[in-house]
Structures are given as structure tokens and as C-alpha cells.
Amino acid sequence: MSSLPPLPPDSLARALLLASQAVAAVIGGRSLAEVPLAPTGELPATRASAQDLVYGALRRYGHGNGLLAPLLARPLTNCEIEALLLCALYRLETRPDAAHTVVNQAVEAAGRIARGAFRGLVNGVLRNYLRRQDELNAGLQGDEATHWHPAWWLARLRRAYPDDWPGIVAAGNGLPPMSLRVNRRRLSREEYLDRLAAAGIAAVPVGKVGLRLQQPQPVDALPGFADGLVSVQDAGAQRAAELLDASDGQRVLDACAAPGGKAAHLLELAAVALTALEMDAGRARRIDDTLSRLGLQATVRVADCRKVDTWWDGRLFDRILADVPCSASGVVRRHPDSKWLRREKDIAGFARTQRQILGALWPTLAPGGKLLYATCSVFPEENGQQVAAFAKNTSGAQLLAEEQLLPQGDHDGFYYALLQKTR
């Protein structure tokens, strides 16, 4: 450890140090979901600054590497210093008016890594970048540097969406909207809009019961959040419960339910007997927490939905939501690490799991019942192609409706296919 004193808790240097640790973990192969962004007790403003640095650096990871490579005499072997430079480059590009401060604070952060051995390198690289910024940006080449996505990812988008792929990429590189779902069991959307206005929070209606905030807010600032008046849920995700169209008294299964947003929405729309499955015990507890906050009840079980004999009592379901594991290619702006951690071969693995889930759940659906297949992907192999093959090869499976939502200003990217069992 360096003998330097601790960094001031409210400093940019502290935020850069925290961010570099998280980004280095992703470079090493870990998901952001597994990485604590900041220790308990960190100042909220410092935590928020670190989060902005992490997400910004990862959204443009290929771009940052493209800028960094010509500035280094040899590739870096210290992941944390590489991550620090990527975070600092992001900050310099987005806050050019504070360039002097950013460089100095990055050097201060470097003093707390590897006993300060890289302070001079960090200072030299960042000052060289400022001198050569226009030249470096003009010289960027390749999809990862210019479009901020892996080449294989872009190739799939270009094949599937020859006209729309630039918009999908632009949305994936942007900031996600923050949308709310009003609990209509408690109040109307108009009534909640009034509460937001009284709290000085601007929002506009989106979807049937949703609201999109003009500026993201901490959940603690949302009127009545702790009391279950409202939930944070993307407007595109709200389509799931609406399409499934459950009615009072029906038996409903949410087969891949964590963290519980779609299950809660189903219970807000109708008085159903809902079973929620989740194979990870930790994530299953999040379902319980969500339902508790909203004052809703369901049977939550830790189980792999594909292993039907471990959780099913033999009574058929009227409605099934199969929100299957997928590449999450439609929500990459919320999870920017995923586009760099995913490999093209992963798509086939997700497709195999999706087929297994559909095949396992279909026998538990009552004749006349409906199953909603859902992903947060934009890749056809996980969506339309998957459903078309299932409908073709499954007797009594009728496709009633299909929606491919592409990410844009109001919502993320989702796919939905509503299937009915005709016999």
C-alpha cells in the first residue's frame, strides 16, 4: 500500500479510484452485478460519481481502448491502471472544461494503486491525450472504437435490422430512461402525477400506466415508493403483464420471476393465484422484498422451472409468463458490461436454454391457456426464430401476438410472443 494519506471522501480522485476497481473487475471477466461499487458508508455523491464513471467508461470501452493504444509504448499489465485511464478519458471527453482537475485527480488516484508506481505514466498519458485529442479521434478505426460495440454484435444487428441497426446502436450507447409503474390498486396515474408535481419531479405518461421521469431520481425521493404506490420498471417491461391479460381467479405462473417486477404487475392488474419461480435463492429473496413493499402475495419457490417434477403439483395454469434467460442485448445501456463480457457462442447457449424452458412449461398450461414468451433481447435467434420453431413443432401451439420492441427514448428492447394452447 502507498504511504500517502487517504483520499478525501468527497474528491473526484476517490470516485476515480472506486470506479477503476469496478471497471478492472469487469476487464477481468466479472459482471458488474457481482462487483460492489463502493464500500458501505461511502458518501452518496461520491458513489454517484463513481457509478457515472463506471458506466460511462464501459459504454465506450472499445472507444477508450482505441484512444489509449497509441498513447502507450506497450500494453498495460495492471488492469486497475488501465481502468483508471479509461475512466479518466471518459471524464475528459464529457467534462472538457475541467481537464486540469481531472488529470490531477487521476494522478492522485494512481498514487493509491501499485504503491504509486504508475503516477508518472497516468500523468503523461492523459496530458498527451489532451494535446493529441483531435488527431486520436480522427484516427479511430474498427467497430469497437467507432460504434462502441463488439464487431460480432454489430454484424448480427446489421443482418437482422439493415435499416434500424444505427438507431439500436445509438440507443445502446446512450443513457436509459427511468420509468415508473403506478400501482393502480392504490391510485391512478393522474393522481400520482400530481404527487410528483408537488414534489417538484417532472414526468410524462408512457404506456398504459407508466410514467417516464424527465430526470432520474433516487427511489427515496419518489412519493410513496416505500408504501408501494409506485415501482421502477421500464415501459417496455410493463408490456408483459398487459399482454398476458390475466383475469381474477386464474392460476398464473411466473417461471423466471426475479426480481419480481412483472409478477407484481400481474398481481396489481388482477386477483390471481400466482406462483413465482427463481432458481437462485438470493434473487428469490428480491421477489419477496418486492411483493412485501407492494403489499402483494404470491407463492415464491426456489426452483429451476425446467425441472417440473421438483415444483409442480400437477394443477394446470391458465397463464404462464416465461421471461427466459437471454443475451440482454435489448437492455445493454443499463448493463454496459454485458456487451464486452458476452461472446457470440453464448447466443446458442441461451437459445438452447430457451427451448428447454418452453418444452418444460408447455405441458403445465391448461387447454385454452396462454403462455407469454419474453426476452430483453433484439437478436432474432432468441426471439422470432425461437418461437416460430416451437409453434411449428408443437401440436396445439397457436401464435396470437408478437412484438419486437427496439430500444429507443421511451423504453428498452424487448420481445414478446403470446402463444395459446388450442388443445
Residues classed as catalytic: 376
C-alpha cell belonging to residue 289: 422484498
Whole-angstrom distance, CA of residue 354 vs CA of residue 343: 17
Query: Contacts by 353-357 with C-beta closer than 8 Å and gap 24+?
Result: 353/324, 353/325, 354/324, 354/325, 354/326, 354/382, 354/386, 355/386, 355/389, 355/390, 356/306, 357/255, 357/256, 357/305, 357/306, 357/322, 357/324
Whole-angstrom distance, CA of residue 394 vs CA of residue 421: 10
Would you tell me how many other CB atoms lie within 10 Å of the CB of residue 2? Answer: 13
Whole-angstrom distance, CA of residue 120 vs CA of residue 249: 68
From residue 116, how far is each of 1, 112, 121 by CA, in Å? 9, 6, 10
Cα-Cα-Cα-Cα dihedral sign, residues 92, 98, 100, 103 = negative
Whole-angstrom distance, CA of residue 286 vs CA of residue 303: 15
Per DSSP, the residues of 221-263 read GSTTTTTTSEEE--TTTTHHHHHH---TT-EEEESS-TT-HHH
Is-contact 289 263, C-beta < 8 A? no
Nearest to 334 by CA among 242, 413, 280: 413
Is-contact 128 369, C-beta < 8 A? no
C-alpha cell belonging to residue 214: 424527465
Q: What angle, 0 to 180 degrees and rounded to 10, lies between the N-to-C axes of helices 119-138 and 99-110?
A: 140
Burial class (CB in 10 A: 0-12, 13-18, 19+), 273: middle
Per DSSP, the residues of 382-398 read GTHHHHHHHHHHSTTEE
Q: SS3 of 163, please?
A: coil
C-alpha cell belonging to residue 271: 386477483
